[in-house]
């Protein structure tokens, strides 16, 4: 079993991603609001304080200030299916301004239903 993390940069696509998860038999995801480190530091620094972050403000999209972190426990054989569900909505994750997905192994779990999907 794997714990899948997906950082969704385009929050406006959240409902579509979750619908795609359901269509691909991925259930029980948890969604958290998140903010990237560079965006947070840039919003807290003064122009003269940290020149790099002040300059980054011009490149950051203010309408995308927040992102979402989607977490789901999935069986090992469902990881590719979950990534397909994401890319069906978002597109190729190797492209910029999409998101990041990764998994970590789960060595113990109790309380999952529907065979742990």
Per-10-residue mean pLDDT, the chain, length 117: 94 95 94 72 53 49 70 96 97 89 94 61
pTM, to two decimals:
0.75
Q: Which two tokens stand for residue 116?
A: 């742990």
Contacts of 113 (CB under 8 A, 6+ apart): 28
Tokens 């993390």, residue located: 5
Q: Which two tokens stand for residue 34?
A: 């998140």
């Amino acid at each position: 079993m794997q714990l899948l993390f997906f950082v969704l940069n385009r929050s406006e696509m959240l409902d579509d991603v979750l619908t795609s998860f359901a269509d691909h038999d991925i259930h029980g995801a948890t969604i958290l609001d998140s903010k990237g480190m560079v965006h947070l530091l840039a919003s807290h620094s003064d122009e003269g304080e940290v020149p790099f972050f002040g300059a980054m403000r011009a490149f950051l999209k203010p309408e995308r200030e927040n992102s979402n972190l989607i977490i789901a426990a999935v069986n090992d054989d469902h990881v590719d299916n979950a990534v397909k569900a994401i890319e069906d909505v978002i597109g190729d994750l190797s492209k910029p301004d999409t998101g990041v997905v990764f998994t970590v192994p789960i060595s113990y779990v109790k309380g999952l239903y529907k065979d742990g999907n």
